[in-house]
Structure 1
Amino acid sequence: MNMMRTLLADLKYIIIAMRPKQWIKNFFIFAGLFFSRNMSDLSLMLDVTIGFLLFCLAASAIYIFNDIIDIPRDKNHPKKSKRPLAAGKLSIIKAGLASLSLITVALTCSFSLDEKFALILLAYSAMNILYSIKIKQVVILDILFIAFGFILRVLAGVTLAGVYPSDWLIICSMTLALFLGFTKRRQELVFQSSDTTSRSVLSEYSVSFLDQMIAVVTACTVMSYALYTVSPETVARFHTRNLVMTVPFVLYGIFRYFYLIHKKGHGEDPTLLLLNDKPTLVNLLLWLVSVAIIIY
């Protein structure tokens, strides 16, 4: 009975360490399928969904690996100290075995699914391991690595969907990822200005510097999406100019995000902000429905 309780407790803490709420980031994998108007193709949908799940497993393996490395710093952090490893509720050995098992399953299954997809997932995993070990302490490059992770998700999705990756899709994904990355760093700096032990790279940033970077990527994000909607390539592909009418949803989403950052003090975790803010969720849903109606 005690052994069963121990196993269940370990499983509970492993699942927590896997951070399933962060899996929402992997929905970028569906971008290529959605914008290629192949959502109704059940075979492609199945392949992309499996790819999504494999990315989730690989990402969770990296999260656990990262938590193992960050145990000394996380113990001094007001929020991260509650994570299973930092709190001592999950042993390093068990966490390491879980991480190794997850990444092994993800990579093995990915090669069975599609070789090109597997290579992208392998590159994503290697890049994030390098990020956890070193790059997250290198100013600016840390944000660029995060953004490139989103690009790899998009590329993985278009590979499984069997479509050519649109330049606009890559550009919009990259600028949006940079926007989220820089705003996340800004909020981390605001809330942890008196304690940089959890992420020493924060000492290389300042609020004013990050605000300038955010201003640049915000303009790039809005303009790249707006130009995408009216580009001759887009009009020719979807046989309509109406996609430009979805720009207000993008503007509202960004303005709402700024409001939550500057007036409500949110934004340290973009995923939780998206999941917990109803106006943002409704806006995202309306954008998806509008785009689907226009291009389908």
Structure 2
Amino acid sequence: MHLASGTRPPGETARAGGGFGAVAAGLLRACRPRQWLKNGFVLAAPAAAGVLTTADGLRGSLIAVAAFCCAASGTYLFNDAADVAADRLHPRKRLRPIAAGIVPVRLARIAGTVLLVLGVLIALAAGWRLALVVACYLALTFAYTHWLKHQPVVDLVAVAACQVVRAFAGAVAVGVPVTGWFLVVVSLGSLLLVAGKRDAELRAQNGGEVTRATLAVYTPGYLAHVRAMSAGAVIVTYGLWALQEHTGTAQAFLAASLVPFVLMVLRHALLVERGQGEEPEELVLRDRPLQVFTAMTLLLLVLGIYLP
């Protein structure tokens, strides 16, 4: 395996200048705690069912979130260990702890294994069904790491499916049914975020080294088409869910939530066009208008679901 110019093999940096503290800090960063925001999808079904205010509902939801935080971090470690050579060619990913040599590949895999097992064990606290869903999530992510990520179009669906599994896990954890509207909205919203991520990755290449196999196949026009299709469809399905699945005061609040929801989708589209969609979770942490639209949507959802 040939390394990019100026890079070191995994672990060399840690041995040369970093002690235990540097490696530990790097390992924590490699677990990508900021991406735990994605586990907010786990709370979607319990929140929509109105059970987060009950003791059992809150307990089951928190267990599911904790299980997915561990499971997701474990898969990130394995994914970065597998992609270490490609990440060194990427202008931003080369700074990841494993690619930069701060965390040795072997240590990343050991820590990843511990986190995967811990995620399943935590899920068992809420029942074997949740543990099974977590196991299915792990199977999907491993299939993505070693095969699906190299298949054009399939890779988009696979990443979006991970978010759908998270949302389904929340429903399983608290024992509430999942409606077709719910799954469609989550699926389309996830596909929109993934398409925006690939679009930003394609823009970041700027004619340089291809760091992801599918980016050699995708074109800006195709990804723009996927984003436009997903954005339009998720707005329509969200509106139909708000207007057809609810009545009275709840319908009024949920119908009103469609306005900030549309603004949220449009703001995301603008950020992607500006090349800022590669890390969707970072957008929520950095972009103030997106934070405002998201907060307004969530507030109206809470009022519509819990106030009546």
Which TM class, normalised by the smaller chain length?
Answer: over 0.9
- 1:235 and 2:247 are equivalent in the alignment: yes
TM-score, normalised with respect to structure 1: 0.94
- 1:295 and 2:308 are equivalent in the alignment: no
Q: How far apart are 1:241 and its partner, in Å?
A: 4.3
- The amino acid across from 1:295 in the alignment is I
Q: Distance in 2 between matches of 1:160 and 1:234?
A: 24
Q: Distance in 1 between matches of 2:160 and 2:277?
A: 17
User: Residue 30 of structure 2 aligns to a residue in which SS?
Assistant: helix
Partner of 2:233: 220
Comparing 283-292 with 173-182, greater Cα deviation is found at: 283-292
Partner of 2:5: none
Q: Deviations over 1:103-158 (max 9, x none)?
A: 11111222232111111000001100110111111000001001111111111001
Q: Distance in 2 between matches of 1:240 and 1:132?
A: 42
In the TM superposition, 1:259-270 aligns within 5 A as 259-262=270-273, 264-270=274-280
Equivalent pairs, count: 290
Partner of 1:198: 211
- The amino acid across from 1:234 in the alignment is H
The RMSD of aligned alpha carbons is: 1.6
Q: Deviations over 1:231-288 (max 9, x none)?
A: 1x3338x7644421111111100111122222x4311111111110111111111111
Partner of 2:255: 244
Partner of 1:172: 185
Q: 1:127 aligns with which of 120, 124, 140?
A: 140
Q: Distance in 2 between matches of 1:141 and 1:200?
A: 12
CA contact (8 A) 1:267 1:273 kept: yes
Comparing 184-193 with 139-148, greater Cα deviation is found at: 184-193
Q: Distance in 1 between matches of 2:63 and 2:253?
A: 32
The change in CA–CA distance for 1:193 and 1:135 in structure 2 (over 3 A counts) is: farther
Q: Distance in 2 between matches of 1:39 and 1:291?
A: 13
Partner of 2:3: none
Partner of 1:149: 162
CA contact (8 A) 1:30 1:157 kept: yes
Q: Distance in 2 between matches of 1:53 and 1:293?
A: 26
Partner of 1:86: 99
- The amino acid across from 1:86 in the alignment is A
User: Residue 234 of structure 1 aligns to a residue in which SS?
Assistant: coil
User: Residue 77 of structure 1 aligns to a residue in which SS?
Assistant: coil
Q: How far apart are 1:196 and its partner, in Å?
A: 4.2
- 1:106 and 2:116 are equivalent in the alignment: no
- 1:279 and 2:289 are equivalent in the alignment: yes
User: Residue 165 of structure 1 aligns to a residue in which SS?
Assistant: coil
Q: Distance in 2 between matches of 1:135 and 1:229?
A: 34
- The amino acid across from 2:220 in the alignment is V
Q: Distance in 2 between matches of 1:167 and 1:26?
A: 20
User: Residue 113 of structure 1 aligns to a residue in which SS?
Assistant: coil
In the TM superposition, 1:43-62 aligns within 5 A as 43-62=56-75
User: Residue 61 of structure 1 aligns to a residue in which SS?
Assistant: helix
Q: Distance in 1 between matches of 2:215 and 2:176?
A: 39
TM-score, normalised with respect to structure 2: 0.90
Partner of 2:43: 30
Q: Distance in 1 between matches of 2:20 and 2:121?
A: 26
CA contact (8 A) 1:30 1:154 kept: yes
Identity of aligned residues (%): 27
Structure 2, gaps ≥5 residues long: 1-14
**Runs of 4 or more above 3 Å deviation:** 238-242
